[in-house]
Amino acid sequence: MATANSSAYIERYADVASLLCGQNVTWLQQQRADALLRLTEHGFPAIRDEDWRYTNVSVLDKQYFAPAQKSASAVITADWLKAYQLVDAWSLVLVDGYFSAELSMLVDLPEGVTVVSLAEALQDAQYATVLEGKINGAVSQDENGFVAFNGAYFVGGVLIHVPAKLQVSKPIQVLHIATQELTAINTRSVIVADELSELQLIETFVGLECAYLSVAVTEVFVGQNANVTLHKVQVESEKAIHFGGTYVKQARDARFRHDNFALGAVLARSDVHTDLDHASECELNGLYLGVKRQHIDNHTRINHLKPHGISRQLYKGVLDDRARGVFQGRVVVAEDAQKTDSQMNNRNLLLSSDAEADTKPQLEIYADDVKCAHGVTVGQLDEKSIFYLQSRCVDEETARNMLTFAFANEMVDKVKIKSLHDLILGQVLTRFPQEGINKEWL
Amino acid sequence: MLSIKNLHVSVGDKPILKGINLEIKPGEIHAIMGPNGSGKSTLSHILSGKSGYTVTEGSATYQGKDLLEMPPEIRAREGVFLAFQYPVEIPGVSNVYLLKAALNSIRKHHGQSEVDAMDFLTLVKGKVRLLEMDEKFLYRAVNEGFSGGEKKRNEILQMAILEPKLCILDETDSGLDIDALKIVSEGVNSLRSPDRSFVMVTHYQRLLDYIKPDFVHVLANGQIVKSGGAELALELEEKGYSWLEDAEASA
């Protein structure tokens, strides 16, 4: 049964169908019809769903977000864009979900590398073989109501394909920009890295100061022995709602790393799911910072399907004011996945008595020869450390800021792309009191 | 420099220090010795401003100012330095960052401008060599993953750079092997000057073989039960503390 909040999107679907990409692609139309059916059946998730027990999406009952139309006016200034568009990367820009050729920087892409808007890819026969089976290939429309919603409604997105044995020399950024008040923006991204290739990718989600609903589903296919790093930087407008899912299929010996910076939006949920084949490795890192009344939910699932897989997870949360952070991490080790080596860690720092952290690590192990560990902490700043800094001339407030910053900075420092590192550092510093933290010394 | 008068300190309802009197003049080195539980660490904590202690009576005056009224960071900026028995690990804050923040806080406190970046590095690297430390330590997180000896050396490095007036060394010799003890002691000795005083809190006499005190005080049950010159430490080494505690009990 559709929940009240999803029914508006089902009833009005016919009105917006003309906005969607790939209208003449029969299989896609079939998938969209299927997605709408799933949305009708399940609706948006409710807190009675175990995976959504900490995140209440009933705000969607109160507010209908009309699917965004292509914006006619160039409301984005070069100066504004400069703050988010990386200089040392190729970038594809989506404005309200629609590809913007004029804002994108895609010149001199290496031979054979595809970075193209999904709408264009669906119209062009040359991409048909790469795309085949990829949309809804890494995620099922049954996964949750937002995936189904996205499957029915996505207006655009990106297709990135790296052919075998190619190491892409610079990172590729997909920059999602929201510009319109009270709109829903649905995008779908398909990333395909063929065997032995290497790719560094950045997904940036940002918006003008308005309220909107951003739903982004990314499907990643990491080929045999390929190596993909995906940085997600979610710095949506502080009135925005963000639902993002990254679904990954790793082939044998494939490596995948995801760095998840969840800093923006008033309500944000991020899912990262990956399936590991024989001896493949994944590293999932996350940093979520919540202030005011932000609610930031992070959900990971690692499926060890075959032997000798390695997974590492470290998610850190800093929560101030009345913010609430959630980490739900689930590692499933299949019966066949012997010699799996898995570690999951979640550390939370609460800066106010009204802040809340909910953490739920889950291990489901069906194999008998594995090494799996998990650890969780929820705490405050260490008083001993504060006194130590005070005894070294640092006043208490600065000491607290230094320790808070240091806690978060561990995750920022993992980012090795200079311009991206600086962008994230800047975003972290604007979100927390940095009085006394001298930027020049960092 | 420091004048402690009839100082009584409690933790909760439990009295720990029961009337300490101590006069420390510029340039002097005082050793505070005593058995476990005598209140030695409480004394160094109360002087450096650690919370959790209640002063019930008495005073501590530092350079004419009420020391006990000052927050810990003001004491530090005024020149009081505590070398910790157990230096705290601060992941994510580099040694060099903390040193610079501390030094600039002191300079600001005294109305001076921030230290020049080049001058700072020259200063720091000089002190690093003095303490036979690896320069890499500067860029590591404060005390994180340091051995016991490295942590103590790091404390002395901070002291050498911040140039305090009153240095309180809390069990600096604990956890040090003989080589590290020599290096740390040489570091301390190099900082001796006519306008800098030291309070060394120690259980054992062996630190005093390397840093010669002007005065030795024995603390037992929250009071100074005996004071003397450097030779008192040797006597304690020979006889232990029990004869003093016995003498006090029978008195």
Contact between B184 and B169 under an 8 Å Cβ cutoff? The reply is no
Q: What is the mean pLDDT of residues B211-224?
A: 92
Pairing of strands A341-350, A371-379: parallel
Min distance A44 CA to chain B CA atoms (Å): 40
Q: How far is CA A241 from the centre of its chain?
A: 13
Min distance A378 CA to chain B CA atoms (Å): 17
**Alpha carbons A358 and A53: distance in angstroms, whole number:** 10
CA dihedral B2→B29→B79→B72, nearest 10 degrees, is: -70
Nearest CB to B76 within list A383, A392, A405: A392
Q: What is the mean pLDDT of residues A106-127?
A: 95
**Among A381-390, B166-175, B190-199, the least confident range:** B166-175
pLDDT at A19: 87
Min distance B131 CA to chain A CA atoms (Å): 19
Q: What pLDDT band is residue A284 in, cutting at 50, 70 and 90?
A: very high
Highest mean pLDDT, choosing among B4-8, B201-205, B235-239: B4-8
H-assigned helices in A255-382: none
For chain A, the maximum distance between any two Cα atoms, rounded to a whole number of angstroms, is 70
Contact between A230 and A191 under an 8 Å Cβ cutoff? The reply is yes
**A contacts of B95 (beta carbons < 8 Å):** none
**Alpha carbons A297 and A144: distance in angstroms, whole number:** 15
Q: What is the mean pLDDT of residues B52-56?
A: 93
What residues form DSSP beta bridges with A330?
A301, A362
- The burial class, CB within 10 Å (0-12 / 13-18 / 19+), for A95 is buried
Q: Which two tokens stand for residue A399?
A: 């000491």
Kindly identify which residue of chain A lies nearest to residue B76, measuring between CA atoms.
A393
Chain-chain contact of B88 with A385 (C-beta, under 8 angstroms): yes
**A contacts of B101 (beta carbons < 8 Å):** 392-394, 398, 402, 436, 438, 441
pLDDT at A438: 61
Kindly identify which residue of chain A lies nearest to residue B101, measuring between CA atoms.
A394
Chain-chain contact of B92 with A385 (C-beta, under 8 angstroms): no
**Would you say residue A214 has pLDDT above 90?**
yes
**Would you say residue A433 has pLDDT above 70?**
no
Interface of B with A in 86-105 (CB under 8 A): 87-88, 90-93, 97-98, 100-103, 105
**Alpha carbons A236 and A207: distance in angstroms, whole number:** 5
Q: Which fold has domain B2-250?
A: Rossmann fold (3.40.50)
Nearest CB to A406 within list B72, B88, B91: B91
Q: Is A394 on the interface with B (CB under 8 A)?
A: yes
B193: which DSSP letter? B
Min distance B237 CA to chain A CA atoms (Å): 32
Kindly identify which residue of chain B lies nearest to residue A436, measuring between CA atoms.
B101
Contact between A275 and A246 under an 8 Å Cβ cutoff? The reply is no
**B contacts of A405 (beta carbons < 8 Å):** 92
Contact between B72 and B47 under an 8 Å Cβ cutoff? The reply is no
Chain-chain contact of A388 with B88 (C-beta, under 8 angstroms): yes
Q: Which two tokens stand for residue B190?
A: 């190099």
> In percent, how much of chain B has pLDDT > 90?
64
**B contacts of A388 (beta carbons < 8 Å):** 84, 87-88, 90
CA angle (A253 as vertex; A316, A114 as ends), nearest 5: 85
Q: Which of A310, A240, A300 is nearest to A277 (CA)?
A: A310
pLDDT, tens only, B178-205: 888 888 898 899 999 999 999 999 888 8
Q: What is the mean pLDDT of residues B62-75?
A: 95
**Alpha carbons B1 and B64: distance in angstroms, whole number:** 8
Chain-chain contact of B106 with A442 (C-beta, under 8 angstroms): no
Nearest CB to B88 within list A384, A394, A395: A384
Q: Is A287 on the interface with B (CB under 8 A)?
A: no
pLDDT, tens only, A19-50: 899 988 999 999 999 999 999 998 999 989 99
Kindly identify which residue of chain A lies nearest to residue B102, measuring between CA atoms.
A393
**A contacts of B106 (beta carbons < 8 Å):** 393
**Among A358-362, B130-134, B210-214, the least confident range:** B130-134
Chain-chain contact of B90 with A389 (C-beta, under 8 angstroms): yes
**Would you say residue B249 has pLDDT above 90?**
no
**B contacts of A438 (beta carbons < 8 Å):** 100-101
Amino acid identity of A388? Y
Nearest CB to B73 within list A395, A409, A410: A395
**Alpha carbons A273 and A301: distance in angstroms, whole number:** 5
Which secondary-structure segment (H or E) carries A31? helix A26-42
Q: Is A14 on the interface with B (CB under 8 A)?
A: no
Q: Is B110 on the interface with A (CB under 8 A)?
A: no
pLDDT at A73: 65
pLDDT, tens only, A300-331: 999 999 999 999 999 999 999 999 999 999 99
Chain-chain contact of A387 with B92 (C-beta, under 8 angstroms): no
Q: Is B131 on the interface with A (CB under 8 A)?
A: no
> In percent, how much of chain A has pLDDT > 90?
85
| Domain spans of chain B, in order of start | 2-250
pLDDT at A75: 77
**A contacts of B48 (beta carbons < 8 Å):** 391
Using DSSP's 3-state secondary structure scheme, residue A71 falls into coil
Q: What pLDDT band is residue B251 in, cutting at 50, 70 and 90?
A: very low
**Would you say residue A410 has pLDDT above 60?**
yes
